[in-house]
Amino acid sequence: MTPPRTRRVTTDRLTLQLTDLRDEGEAVVLVHGNVSSAAFWDTTLAALPERYRPLAVDLRGFGGSDPLPVDATRGLRDYADDLAALLTELGVERAHFVGWSMGGGVVMQYLRDRPAAVRSLTLVNPVSPYGFGGTHGVDGVLNAPDGAGSGGGTANPEFVRHLAENDRSGDSPLSPLSVLTSCYVRPPLRLAHEAAYVEAMLSTRTGDDHYPGDSVPSEAWPGIAPGTRGVLNCLAPTHFRLDDLHLVEPKAPVLWIRGEDDVIVSDASLFDLANLGAAGVVPGWDGTPAQPMVAQTRRVLDRYAAEGGKVREVAVPEAGHAVHLERPEEFHAALLEVLSA
């Protein structure tokens, strides 16, 4: 197998770090999730046949890419526009896009803004098209007008501290290693390249301009609302919302693949403050409903299919948030099917 190469590519927006294998073939853009990097695509890079040109990119503020500030008022468009600039620099006009978690939101935004440039779209445990936190119902109705319950203030400060201190131990349940083994994958699975994935998590830039971002007080429970800067605010439903995805033309085929035991993107997410409030973990819960993340994604993709798009949903049992690493054979089989279609 050709060993992967890592290089920095300068565009008219910023310099991004790229991991790839070859210069020929149908481009397959691999977009990682929050608190990670392109390193999480190592098995997929190795699995793609030579007819494809895999391009695993570090998003701004992650891995080896420039740590430019993130304007959260644009939703995920800073990231999507960065990808467009990268592909222009590489001379790629059309590509397949594969997005995991937050990266799923990035590639959905790319499809929304540039549908003619998308050959196919693969969503791997993607963030809801209505953002992360602060909504209820399959149509993503805001719990409060200011998006309370979402954004930079929802991150656990202890986890952020462990990230900033480059903690590689598993001594705390909120260290990156502990979060990887308890939340990214379904326990008791331990990944073969665990140390490399922890290093990828530690490459996350922290602060108000990066992860988790800023926040503002709110009169609505739980007392915090999204700010305008940083990663988690990009995902706030006041800034990121794709309920019109069914209107794009042309409609690329979509694969939605997810682990059934995902605790991050779920209808009962352990990262949604409303669920934690109902469980008594976050005090003062007033009955604010939780976000049905999977049901919201299904609603948007069902409308996409009703308007003529081809959508396939694959739910993988006994897999968590990183289904592409936990069940690589099933993941790669489904991915190759949509790529070849």
Q: How confident is the model at residue 1, as a pLDDT?
A: 67
Got the DSSP string for 277-321?
A: HHTTSSTT---PPPP-HHHHHHHHHHHHHHTT--EEEEEETT--S
- Contact in structure between 60 and 23 (CB atoms under 8 Å): no
- Contact in structure between 293 and 128 (CB atoms under 8 Å): yes
State how far the Cα of 324 lies from the Cα of 95, in Å rounded to an integer. Answer: 20
Which position has the token pair 């390249």? 193
Torsions phi, psi for 284 (to 5 deg): 80, 15
Q: How confident is the model at residue 17, as a pLDDT?
A: 98
5: its two tokens: 């190469």
Identity of the amino acid at 143: N
Torsions phi, psi for 315 (to 5 deg): -100, 120
* Residues sharing a CB contact under 8 Å with residue 122, sequence separation 6 or more, in sequence order: 96, 97, 98, 99, 107, 254, 255, 257, 335, 338
**Closest listed residue to residue 16, CA positions, set 73, 96, 84, 76:** 84
Q: Which long-range contacts (CB under 8 A, 24 or more apart) does 280-283 make?
A: 282/222
pLDDT, averaged in runs of 10, over the chain (341 residues)? 91 98 97 98 96 98 98 98 98 98 98 98 98 98 98 98 98 98 98 97 98 98 98 98 97 98 98 97 96 98 98 98 98 98 88
151: its two tokens: 């954004």
Got the DSSP string for 234-256?
A: HTSTTT---TTGGG-SS---EEE
Sheet containing 311-316: give its strands across. Answer: 5-10, 15-20, 52-57, 26-31, 95-100, 118-124, 254-259, 311-316
- Give the DSSP letter of residue 229: B
- Which whole-number Å values give the CA distances from 187 to 132, 247, 321, in the listed order? 23, 39, 11
Say if residue 212 is preceded by a cis peptide, omega within 30 of 0.
yes
Got the DSSP string for 261-284?
A: T-SSSSTT-TT-HHHHHHTTSSTT
Q: Which residues of 1-15 are buried (b: 16+ CB within 10 A; e: fewer)?
A: eeebeeeebebebbe
- Which whole-number Å values give the CA distances from 80 to 109, 140, 157, 232, 234, in the listed order? 7, 22, 28, 16, 12
Instruction: Specify burial of residue 182 (Cβ count, 10 A radius: 0-12, 13-18, 19+).
Output: middle
Q: Which domains can be identified in the chain, with CATH numbers?
A: 5-340 (3.40.50.1820)
Torsions phi, psi for 18 (to 5 deg): -125, 135
